[in-house]
Structure formats: C-alpha cells, structure tokens
Structure 1
Amino acid sequence: MIFIFCAAITSASILVAHQFITTYNTEFHRNYFYFLVTSFSFAFYGIWAPIIMRVILTSIEVDDDTVETVTNFLPVLGVPFLLISWFMLVKMGYTLVAVKLDNRAFRIYLVYLAIVIIMVSGIFFFKDNLPVIIEAHVIYTEMAIFAVLELGYMLLFSGIVWHYLKRQKRTHNKIVARFVILMLLALVLRLGALPFAFSSQWIVGLVILVYFISNFAPLFYLKRNAHLLFVPFHTENPNQDKKELIFSMYEISNREKEVIEQICLGKTNQQIADELFISLQTVKDHTHRIYTKIGIKSRMKLVQMVNGQ
C-alpha cells in the first residue's frame, strides 16, 4: 500500500512538473522537472529496491550475508541519479532568478563534488584509524554523509537564489523566497525522518511516505503561484491563415476562438477568465474541449500550431 502511495505521489509530481514545461517552457521549469525525475528515481533505487530485493531473496532462502551484500549495493545504482539531481538543483538556483549561467553552475557543482570526493577518499584510505563507533555502524555513517551532501547542495541552491534576490527588485520576490524556504523545509523533513528508518515496520512505512511526499509541498506552492512569476508560452509569429484553418477544421466555437486568442497572447487561465468575464473553471473546461477537438495535450502544442510549426 505504501509503495502504491509513493508511486502515485511520484506520478502526480512529475505530471505537474511536466505541465509547467508545456505551459511556461522556461529553463527553470525544465531544470525543476529533471530534478524531480532524478530525485524520485534515486528514492526508488535507494529505498524501494533494497526492500523489494530483500523480500525476494528471503523468500527463496538466500543466506543472510548475500542478502545484506545485495541490498547494500542496490542504492549505489541510484547514485548517478542523485548526482544529476544535485546538478539540476544548482542550475535551478540560477534560472529561478533569471541569471545567465555561463557555466557557473557546472563549476560550482564540480568544486563541491571534488571536495566531497577528497573527503570520502580520505575516509577510505584512513579507515583503519576510524573510531570504533563508525566501523560498527556503517549504515548510519553512510546516512550521515548522504545528509551532509543533501544539505550542502540545498544550501548552495538557497545561497544562489538569496544572493541575486537581494540585487533584484522584482514584484514577486516574496514568492521566490517562500518557494526556497519550502524546498529547505522539505529537505529538513526528509533528513529528520532518516533516524527512524530502522524502527518498527509501520514507522518505516511512514518515514518512506514522508520522504516521497516532502517534495510535493514546494511543487504545489509553485503551481498555485507560477502565473505571478512566469509568462506562459505564447505565439511570437502567429500565422493567421493557419489559425483560421484550425478554427474551421476542428469546428471551434466562437467562445473557444476567444480562449485560443487569449492563450496565444500568453494569458494565464485566470487572466483569460478576467478578460472574458467567465469563471476560472469555465476557462479550464473550454481549454480541455479545445485540446480534445484538436487532439493535443498542451498549450505549447496549440501555440506551435498557430505559429505554423
């Protein structure tokens, strides 16, 4: 049951993030989408893969040493996803405040990663001199290293955003600041749940659920306020003949034509509702019917068709 909930949360989060791309088509939204995809991929490799494999191996009576070896190795397969998610997080910091990257994100990411590699290598080469408590609790040591890395990259992301927010005087900087705070709180929630990962079975299930749901709060907040920060995808070179052909071919009603015209101007659903003096839900209903008639699934595709692409 917990696995189903985690899969549902993952699917919903990725779907919302993908809708951001098709609605706003910004570099930030693409980075955010890949951050979520890679973060959830690591979560499935690092959390669910060992659990599932342990159940399978135990059911076929594999010896305990083999079970431990396999389940401890599986999270390693998710490390590439984790590394990519951290890089996306650093890029998100720059693109959220509309700062040109110029490879700065990549350089910062590499410097921090190099420091981490040096530290981990030092631990490996001097493992004979490690305190007994660390040798006796390897899994807790690994969790601590993971927590420090997660916190480090999140602080990099936050630091980049706060640094440029101080220089910029945009109308909705508070929304950006709240989003960053929610990202930090989501991380604190995940890290705070880690110490309970080896408790009773039902607590472990709750911890896993908390880990997966933590990223949903900042995503939901951004979804509610994205129209205040970003301009929706809109036509730059509209083709009037193409537009009229679409209207005729797909039997678009007069009201639907008005909605399409507003979409092409880059208006949000709420702005369209205000402009046409209709409810927000009515705009969504019209938009859904338009997409169904034409056979598309996003604003981006509609705008591309009107552009004659």
Structure 2
Amino acid sequence: MGEALQLILLLITVVAGAIAIFFSFQLMKRYPLPFVNSYFYYLVFLYIFGVYGLIGSGVLAHLFTRMEVDDRTIQSARLIMVLLGIPFLALSKYMLLKTFKEYFQKNIAPSFTVTYFILGVAVLVLYGVFVIRFTRFNQGDFTWLITFQRWVFTGSLVFMYLLVWILTLLDSQKITGAYEKKFIRRFVAFYLLYMVLCCISFLFLSLHPILPFLFVFFLLAYHLIPILFLNLYLGKQHAPGSILQEDFDTRLEVFSGKYEISNREKEVIQLICRGMSNQEISESLFISLQTVKDHIHRIFVKTGVRNRVQLTNLIRST
C-alpha cells in the first residue's frame, strides 16, 4: 500500500475519532447526565490509547525504518509505546462499564473495581517485565511478546464488552418504558458489533496490509454511529441542562398560568427540565410510570408541543 494512501487513512481515522470526542463533549455540556459524562471519558481514554499507543508506535517504527535503524531497536520502541498506552485502554473499558451502569442509576461494585484494577496492574507489570527483558537485556522472543499482547488484548476486549452487554440486558428488564429499553439495548448492541469488528481485524492483521488501518479505524472512528444514535435519544427524552436559568421559577410560574398547568404537572415539568427520564421522574415523585406519561401527555396537549425539546424551548421563550 502506498505511503500517501496510508497517510490518508490514518488522517481520516484520527479526525473521525476527534470528531466523535467533540460531539460527545457537546452532548455532555448540553445534557449534564452522569452516564453521558462517563461516556465522554471512555472515548477520551480510548482515543489517547489509539493515537499514542497504536498510531504513534506505527509512525515511530516507520520513521526508524526510513532511518535504517536496526530491527530490534524498532520493535523495542513499538513495545514501549504500547506499554505506556495500556493504562488508558484499561481506564476506557472501565468507563464504558460505568456508562451503562449509570444509565440505570447504579454504581459499579467496589469489589469489582478493586479486582479489575489489581488484575490490570498485574498484567501491566508482567508485560512490562517482558518488554524490559527484551529491550534492556536483549532477552526473550519478540514474536512471543506480540502473540501475548494480541491474545491479552483480544481476551480483555471480549470479556469487558460481553460483560457490559450481559449486564445491560439484565438491568434493562427492569425498565418499564418501551422506548428507554429499546434505546439502551440497541446502544449496547452497537458496542457488541464494535467488539466483533475490532477482534476480527486485530486477529488477522498480518493477512493484508489494509487490516491494521481498518483495525485502528474501527477502534477510533466507529463511535460516530452510536453517538448520533445517543443524540437522537437525548433529544427526545432529556431536556438540555441549560434550560435551568436563574429566572426559571419565574418563567415556569408565568408559563403555568398561561397554559393552566396544575401543580403536579408543574413538578413534572421541573424534572423534565433537569434532564430526567420518565423512569427517573416516576421514582422522584413516587408515582407510577404510567401516571408520569399521562401527565406529560396532558402537558403536551395543553401547550401544543410534540416533545420535550419543544416544551423546554417554549418555557425558555416565555
């Protein structure tokens, strides 16, 4: 593959990954929800690993090759770059699990957190020992290190994304809202497909020169698809956090008088404007989910709006 084409593919991947982070940052600012915040950091940590640990090591190896540096030095540099990027990969996977748990308003069990990071440190130290033996003392086989690196990466990827998928399916059974349940199951399905694409392209890197670039592309750029899906969901189910202005209470009083909003409906509107879902409103007001839906339907009928975003915009303009 020509160098120009390689450079174009890398640039597309880096830019697409950066755009995904930018979009997630905008969502985090617009919808100040814990799971959106964790999702943003998941993308940031993964991007650092991809750009620094993978693309950076590849670019460095290419430059060293052009400079006619010996092969062992080149491989040593690549191993060290990947080693330094591994902590960001571990953090990204943890933040992904945190994202889905926070969607259900749950926390990761402290015992799991401790176990996860102890195992992560153990793997990092073990890998680091082999890297130091290879780079510092010229001991060990580079091929074995690459094989070890490949299978540990693939195994951890499959474990974490399958775990997230299974836990999400179990937790979603408790959701009574059909739209919320459909969204989170489809959203996690995007990441099950993501895992499959990454694993296939990673395990068969040596079969074709294009596969390493496809792997990095899937790793960093794929997230644009679930982000667009997430944006559609938040636009329908959550009001932007910016609606809570200093004069919000005054605006709401005027709004309620104008459209003959009851006190209970006013409470529902307040929670909508805080970005709460129907399920969260139900739990906050100690009423059934169906009652929440009935209140929202009456509010929409009285005000003539069709969704939450139109409702918040109407309050903002009052």
Asked whether the two chains share a fold, i.e. TM above 0.5, the reply is yes
Q: How far off its partner does 1:10 sit?
A: 1.0
3-state SS in 2 of match to 1:201: coil
Q: CA deviation at 1:37?
A: 0.6
Larger deviation, residues 44-53 vs 166-175:
166-175
Q: CA 1:13 to 1:220, structure 2 compared with 1: closer, same or farther past 3 Å? A: same
Structure 1 residue aligned with 2:32: 25
Q: Which of the numbers 201, 220, 224 marks the counterpart of 1:212?
A: 220
Aligned partner of 1:188 among 166, 171, 196 = 196
Q: Displacement of 1:140 after TM fit?
A: 2.3
- Which of 14, 19, 25 pairs up with 1:12? 19
1:37-72 superposed Cα distances (whole Å, 9 cap, x missing partner): 111111112321111101221222211111111112
* Count of residue pairs brought into register by the alignment: 250
Q: Distance in 1 between matches of 2:204 and 2:101?
A: 34
Q: 1:223 aligns with which of 207, 220, 231?
A: 231
For residues 127 and 9 of structure 2, the distance between their equivalents in structure 1, rounded to whole angstroms, comes to: 36
How many angstroms apart in 2 are the aligned matches of 1:59 and 1:115?
38
**% identity of equivalent residues:** 19
TM-score scaled by length of structure 2: 0.66
Q: Which amino acid aligns with 1:107?
A: S
Gaps of 5+ in 2: 1-7, 130-140, 252-268, 276-300
- Over aligned residues, Cα RMSD in angstroms? 3.7
Q: TM-score, normalization: structure 1? A: 0.68
Q: Whole-Å Cα distance in 2 between the matches of residues 13 and 167 of structure 1?
A: 30
Residue number in structure 1 paired with 2:93: 86
- d(CA) in 2 for partners of 1:8 and 1:135? 32
CA–CA distance in structure 2, aligned partners of residues 17 and 148 of structure 1: 27
The CA distance in 2 between the partners of 1:156 and 1:147, in whole Å, is 14
Query: Structure 1, residues 252-309: CA drift from partner, whole Å, max 9, x if none?
Result: xxxxxxxxxx9xx8499xxxxx97889xxxx9xxx9xxxxxxxxxxxxxxx9xx9xxx
Letter in 2 for 1:80: P
Q: Which residue of 1 aligns with 2:169?
A: 162
Q: Which of 171-180 and 137-146 deviates more?
A: 137-146
Matched, 1:173 2:177: no
Gaps of 5+ in 1: 126-133, 244-261, 269-273, 288-302
Structure 1 residue 151, shift from structure 2 partner: 1.8
> Once the 2 structures are TM-superposed, how far is the Cα of residue 14 of structure 1 from its aligned partner?
0.6
Partner of 1:144: 151
Q: Deviations over 1:194-240 (max 9, x none)?
A: 12322333343333323333323222221222223433214446327
1:165 Cα shift? 1.5
Contact in 1 for aligned 2:53/2:83 (Cα 8 Å): yes
Q: Secondary structure at the match of 1:167?
A: coil
Report the residue type matching 1:112 in the other structure: Y
* 1:212 match: secondary structure: helix
